Structure 1
Amino acid sequence: MASVVARLISQSKPYLVPGKLLVKELWFEVPLDHSKPKGQTIKLFARSAIRYEKPIVESSEVVQRPYLLFLQGGPGHGAPAPQDSTLSKHMLDRGYELLLLDQRGTGFSCPISAHTLARVGGAHEQADYLKLFRADTLVKDSEAVRRCLTEDFPPEKKKWTTFGQSFGGMMTLTYLSFAPEGLRECFITGGLGSLDKGPEEVYQVTYQRVMERNRAYYSKFPQDVKAVKDIAEKIRELGGEKGVPLPAGGLLTIKRFLMLGLHLGMDGGLDTVHNFIIRMKADLDNFGVFSHATLNALEQDGAWDTDPIYALLHEPCWCFGPGVAGRWAAERVGQGIQEYQWLKNDWPGPAALGDQPLFFSGEMIFTFHFETCSELIKLRETADILANYDEWPSLYNIEQLGKNEVPVYAASYNDMYVDAGLARITASRIKGIKVFETNVLFHSALRAKPDEVFRELLALRDDTID
């Protein structure tokens, strides 16, 4: 991959944060379109961190540590601050300098919103702009930043290590496909996405995982079978055809309520959903309506309005190359599943289910996201254009992955979002990969159970398998 070199605009003086971390803030400039290196540019923000040890005698010597780049999940979420990253605790003692880069469009790196997109132009201009925010371009940004930071490093330190969580793991596969020369080693957690299955095929599998988690939920909380349907009926009663108004301008409909199922694939996710049900039922029992606090919590849940890339580019993440379009695949596939008839506009309502539970959705994006979320409502036309676009650049080079020489260490989970069976197929196509596979950890294990994850990943790297 031919790569430009990012321009380092500024870097702060190092400062201490809790955890004995010495942090710097860095700003870079890269082309908006890497095929036009002299065209429009955008700014990227990153923080670097090293372990701080107060020396007996201060030294002026500049230490060039090998970099470890964290590739955040999403897409559309900014990187955590160093003191909030589990990598700071588990990887810095191994001599790395951690780089937490806000991917373009997220965090402080030229963030995407309805307001910032309006500056680009109309829906077609916005869609063309967003086509430059997928993993293929994010890898080019990363390579540009790497080449900038290591420009005066000795050859043995120019390559860097990457650590990809979820979407960051899929991005790692793109990196290994097109720019392996920049990589020393790669860690992947919950991110061995399919290399050649489009959104429709992926959702046919992941809906099965979501239904398994729904059954687990109602097995743990059988009383919620009735409570969830009662809440859904009350939403319809209070909101009519449009929905219950939410504090920031969104609308609470039955469909939006069932988006709470996104939590079901996370550690503790069953309890997170149940807590929402307790809260909503308590409001109805006490007042007959939902309180402002509850409506606010529902509206903020999922960060739909603050991280719009997640909804806009979620299905395009699975569009692995030319000829593949999402075309609202999650909605189409779901409408063909008995448990998800509520996705149809002529669904009669919860009463039609009888004794059967009302199932929550999972990590799927639907047209109703762009009818009920205040920020996304403004971007519906743009979303439709992206959903029907089928000229995406290739995300993976399967031939290159089959002759890969970069060490890759991965953790694959009991995962509602990235199916373990599909992950196993992907792993079989990457030469030299080592995989820790378990059915007792969930997608969020990097945050929820980091000690277990790092123990297994580092054993793959440091120990031998006989």
Structure 2
Amino acid sequence: MNPVQPAHLARSRSHIHSGGFHVTELFFEVPENYAHPEDGTIRLFARSIKRPEKMIPGISKPEDEPRKPYLVYLEGGPGFAGPEPRGHPVTNRALDAGYTVLYVDYRGTGMSNHIHTDLVLNQGDVNLQVEYLKLFRADSIVRDLEAIRLCLTKSWELEYQKWSIFGQSFGGFVCLSYLSKYPQGLREVFMTGGLAPVKRQPTEVYSALYKKVIERNEAYYAKYPEDEENVLRIARYLTMEEDGFPLPGGGRFTIHRLLGLGMGFGCHGGLDGVHNLILKLISDLDQFNYFTTPTLMALEREVPFDTNPVYAILHESIYCSKGVASNWAALEAARKYDEFINLTKPLHLSMSLPLHGKQRLYFSGEMVYPCFFDTYPTLQPLKPAAEALAKHSGWAEDLYDEEQLRRNEVPVYAVSYIDDMYVDIEAARETAALVKGIKVHETNQLHHNAIRAKGEEVLGMLFRLRDDTLD
């Protein structure tokens, strides 16, 4: 693996936040394309958080404060920035454990030169847009992280220069790429719901995930049986307009968009959140025989494709190795299941499907379909690039090095969710068997977002894996 040069720290500003946190806002510059650093740089943003030792005025000096190694939190996605640190469960627990916590906005997200529609279109023709979007996968992200590590720790004692990383969901995928490419920079690795399907191809991934999506649909209708008819009623109403109903923020409300609400089914509170929105939609039809603006705005907030287009356009590429094109793998895999027939039809056909009797409509999960690039305004101009990217197989490198993972020497601790709707448990077990020395806690009592919903419980599991010994 080619060495990475330290990032350039362009700007740094520290503040004291409520609760005694010292938060430092950091802006770095790194190569946009590590293969061609002469092409220019992009900006990365991160926040470091520490809780300083108590200082006695006139006696203690800043240099007396002990060095605290970094723990870097890596958000899920792809396409999501680091969380606001004060409200995140990792912050207090990691500070109490003796770390300085670093929250990073991946390239293309948040304040790290975030990708937006105009930025992609300004790259030139579709081929140039694809070449640009390829720079935002995990292989570039881990180089960014390593460049930041080298920058922040270059003056530190050698034993402190390695850092710990914590990956949630896609963040765990990034952890495995980091372990594959720059293990020398890592002291330890924590992962929650992030054991990537390293050995599987995109269609295999989605074929397995649909089984869990079906289970979550059945759990939804078992909990809210009245919604079987409510969802059908909303869908029938949507068929009154061939291309759906206009939304306040642009785009169209279609059957595809309605069924896309199932993205939340795999999270704590996800079934309840979808039911609440279905109830609002039905209430509107009961009272007004149309959908009101507040209800439609609530619908728009549920699926983040407009605010986080990277999630939609690069989602399938996180499963692509060298020589592999995704070819809209989620759509292809859906064709094997009768439950998802409405999502596999083109927009104009799905809107005219007969919706009657006891037919049950199944929601999709986190899958991205070509039709979404017709119904979300931020995605619409990016459809040619998305189509080209789906056919692209010329990835410069694999995201994971299986041989390196087999000889891994970095301690790895993972919490894995048996009923995870987004990371298939059997694929996660295959990956765990691949990584030398990994310790895994499996549970069927938590969903994918447990780090947010039940953070203390999850963090307790992870630190027990680290601190408890078997022999």
The question of a shared fold, defined as TM-score above 0.5 by the shorter chain, is answered with yes
Take 1:330 and 1:363, find their aligned partners in 2: how far apart are those partners? 9
Q: Deviations over 1:144-189 (max 9, x none)?
A: 0000001011110000000000000001000101110000000000
Deviation of 1:124 after TM superposition, in Å, equals 1.8
Pairing 1:255-270 to 2, within 5 Å after superposition: 255-270=256-271
Q: Does 1:328 align with 2:328?
A: yes
Q: With the length of structure 2 as denominator, give the TM-score of the two structures.
A: 0.96
- String of CA shifts for 1:53-108, please: whole Å, max 9, x gaps: 54233523164321111111100001012112211121111111111111100000
Report SS of the residue matched to 2:399.
coil
| Residue matched to 1:31 | 31
Deviation for aligned residue 1:337: 1.0
CA contact (8 A) 1:4 1:34 kept: no
Does 2:411 align with 1:407? yes
Task: Determine the structure 1 residue equivalent to 2:205.
Answer: 202
1:367 is displaced (CA, Å) by 0.4
Match of 1:374 in 2: 377
Q: Residue type matched to 1:398 in 2?
A: E
Shift of 1:212: 0.3
Residue segments in structure 2 that go unaligned for 5+ positions in a row: none
2:61 paired with 1:59: yes
Alignment of 1:27-106 (within 5 A): 27-57=27-57, 58-61=60-63, 63-106=66-109
Helix, strand or coil at the partner of 1:26: strand
Corresponding position of 2:288 = 287
Aligned residues of 2:11 and 2:28 also touching (Cα < 8 A): yes
**What whole-Å deviation, never above 9, does each CA across 1:89-131 have from its counterpart, x for those lacking one?**
2111111111111110000000000022233223221111110
Shift of residue 424, structure 1, vs aligned partner: 0.7
| Contact 1:78/1:103 (<8 A) preserved | yes
Secondary structure of the structure 1 residue equivalent to 2:68: coil
Structure 2 counterpart of 1:267, which letter?
H
Whole-Å separation in 2 of the counterparts to 1:235 and 1:454: 44
Letter aligned with residue 421 of structure 1: E
CA distance in 2, matches of 1:140, 1:127: 20
CA contact (8 A) 1:4 1:144 kept: yes
Structure 2 residue 197 is the aligned partner of structure 1 residue 190: no
State how far apart, in whole Å, the 2-side matches of 1:377 and 1:465 are. 54
- Identity among equivalent pairs (%): 47
Q: What SS does the corresponding residue of 2:39 show, helix, strand or coil?
A: coil
- In the other structure, the counterpart of 1:417 is 422
Unaligned runs of 5+ in 1: none
Deviates more, 1:339-348 or 1:377-386: 339-348
Q: Are the aligned partners of 1:4 and 1:37 in contact in 2 as well (CA < 8 Å)?
A: no
Match of 2:433 in 1: 428
How has the CA–CA distance of structure 1 residues 224 and 56 changed in structure 2, closer, same or farther, with 3 Å as cutoff?
A: same
Question: What letter corresponds to residue 59 of structure 1 in structure 2?
Answer: K
Contact 1:233 1:349 survives alignment (8 Å): no
User: In structure 1, what is the Cα distance between the partners aligned to 2:280 and 2:450?
Assistant: 26
**Corresponding residue for residue 122 of structure 2:** 119
Is the partner of 1:358 in helix, strand or coil? coil
Q: Secondary structure of the residue that 1:44 maps to in structure 2?
A: strand
Contact 1:256/1:368 (<8 A) preserved: no
Work out the CA distance in 2 between the residues paired with 1:306 and 1:232.
Answer: 25
Distance between the aligned counterparts of 2:433 and 2:122, measured in 1?
A: 45
Q: Which residue of 1 aligns with 2:252?
A: 251
The one-letter code matched in structure 2 to 1:66 is P
What does 1:312-351 align with in structure 2 at a 5 Å threshold?
312-319=313-320, 321-342=321-342, 343-345=344-346, 346-347=349-350, 351=354
Q: Does residue 155 of the first structure (1) align with residue 158 of the second (2)?
A: yes
TM-score scaled to structure 1, two decimals?
0.97
Q: Which residue of 2 is the match for residue 300 of structure 1?
A: 301
1:158-173 mapped onto 2 (5 Å cutoff): 158-173=161-176
Per the alignment, residue 398 of structure 1 pairs with 402
Tell me the residue number matched to 1:179.
182
Q: State the AA in 1 paired with 2:457.
A: E
2:113 aligned partner:
110
AA at the equivalent of 2:79: G
Q: Report the more deviating stretch, 258-267 or 91-100.
A: 91-100
1:247-281 superposed Cα distances (whole Å, 9 cap, x missing partner): 11111001111110000000011101100111000
Partner SS for 2:62: coil
Q: Could you give the per-residue CA deviations for residues 321-346 of structure 1, whole angstroms, max 9, x where no partner exists? A: 21211111111111231001102234
On the 8 A contact 2:196/2:431 being kept in 1, the answer is yes
For 1:247, the aligned partner's letter is P
Question: How many residue pairs end up in the alignment?
Answer: 462
